[in-house]
Structure 1
């Protein structure tokens, strides 16, 4: 499998779908499924019955997994979507934004 270009904690931009243009932080990456969880994006609603653990019950809103192909890393310089490449800098392999050439903190 190819090297992971999107990691937990990255700021990403949604490229397509109902949340197109939305910006969020990656909460979880599921490489086997090709999915990611992004904070505040692709919110799913579930109606929960009252239980002993949650006696109030109610409506539960949480992010649902979305395809990794629908997101791109946000450029650290201007926040626009960018591709990611790897470079050797100071003897270590780092992720670099293809748009601006700046390193991506990960």
Structure 2
């Protein structure tokens, strides 16, 4: 199976551009490149009925984030205040940095 590459990574701040959670902003908690999906904090929250597995493990209804396709999100630029496209610059010391294509700010 071919490995897919995601445009976002764990720890990035992203904004949702389509779907039921459109306009929401959150941090990427986990990236799943094989499926092309990511888990974003506070986005696509589902209810799950969990069975008790012993006296110390409580059952009940829990709320947790489910994966969404990475194509539904854009990197968030604090300077612009919106989701933006980004470019990659290579610095003199060989380090790669991502920058906002709109304002030029480092992401």
| TM-score, normalising length: structure 2 | 0.87
SS at match of 1:101: coil
Confirm or deny: 8 A CA contact 2:9 2:31 kept in the other structure: yes
| TM-score, normalising length: structure 1 | 0.88
What is the CA deviation profile of residues 11-42 of structure 1, one whole-angstrom value per residue up to 9, with x for unaligned ones?
Answer: 10000000000000000111111000000000
Distance 1:22 1:97 in 2: 19
Runs of 4+ residues deviating >2 angstroms: 1-5
SS at match of 2:63: strand
> Structure 2 regions of 5+ residues with no counterpart?
none
Q: CA deviation at 1:4?
A: 4.5
Confirm or deny: 8 A CA contact 2:4 2:34 kept in the other structure: no
Aligned-residue CA RMSD in angstroms? 1.6
Where does residue 105 of structure 2 map in the other structure? 102
Pairing 1:46-85 to 2, within 5 Å after superposition: 46-52=48-54, 53-54=56-57, 56-85=58-87
Distance 1:2 1:97, change over 3 A: farther
Distance 1:90 1:24 in 2: 32
